[in-house]
């Protein structure tokens, strides 16, 4: 890797973007045996962890057309995502601010490869 590749180039609005992905709230959930087994099955299926699976379930629920009125940013915002969004999304993933699953899902939605 060249020195150019390893040099950090600050992005416009990077600090605000990074803060928007910082997770500061924690939720404790009590599940019954069936719910716990279902969660563990999803974790194994997705080869992920419980927190990421819960976040994906929440994001999928909020992104569904059926629940679009619950989302302050309408799913229509995904129809014309600028290149800057995709670049910022990649930066968030590279800095481990979002999981690979979240990155892929958001990228696919923004490119219209997956229905939101």
* Mean of pLDDT values over 67-71: 49
* Mean of pLDDT values over 65-83: 52
Q: Is the pLDDT of residue 70 over 50?
A: no
Q: Is the pLDDT of residue 72 over 70?
A: no
Q: Return d(Cα 67, Cα 80) in angstroms, integer.
A: 20
Instruction: Identify the pLDDT of residue 44.
Output: 93
Report pLDDT digits (tens) over 39-66: 999 899 989 889 888 888 887 877 775 5
SS (H, E, C) 12-51: CCHHHHHHHHCCCCCCCCCCCHHHHHHHHHHHHHHCCCHH
Report pLDDT digits (tens) over 80-94: 555 777 888 888 888
Between 101 and 67, residue with greater pLDDT: 101
Q: For residue 113, give the DSSP letter.
A: S
Q: For residue 82, give the DSSP letter.
A: -
> What does the domain layout of the chain look like in residue ranges?
13-110
Task: Name the residue among 102, 113, 111, 52 with its Cα closest to residue 80.
Answer: 111
Q: What is the mean pLDDT of the chain?
A: 74
Q: How far apart are the first and last CA of the chain?
A: 37
């Amino acid at each position: 890797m060249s020195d150019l590749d390893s040099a950090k180039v600050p992005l416009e609005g990077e600090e605000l973007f990074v803060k928007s992905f910082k997770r500061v709230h924690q939720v404790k959930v009590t599940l019954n045996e069936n719910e716990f087994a279902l969660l563990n099955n999803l974790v194994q299926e997705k080869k992920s962890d419980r927190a990421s699976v819960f976040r994906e379930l929440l994001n999928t629920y909020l992104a569904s057309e059926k629940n679009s009125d619950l989302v302050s940013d309408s799913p229509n915002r995904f129809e014309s995502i600028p290149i800057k969004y995709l670049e910022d999304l990649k930066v968030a993933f590279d800095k481990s601010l979002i999981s690979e699953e979240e990155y892929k899902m958001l990228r696919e939605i923004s490119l219209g490869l997956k229905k939101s």
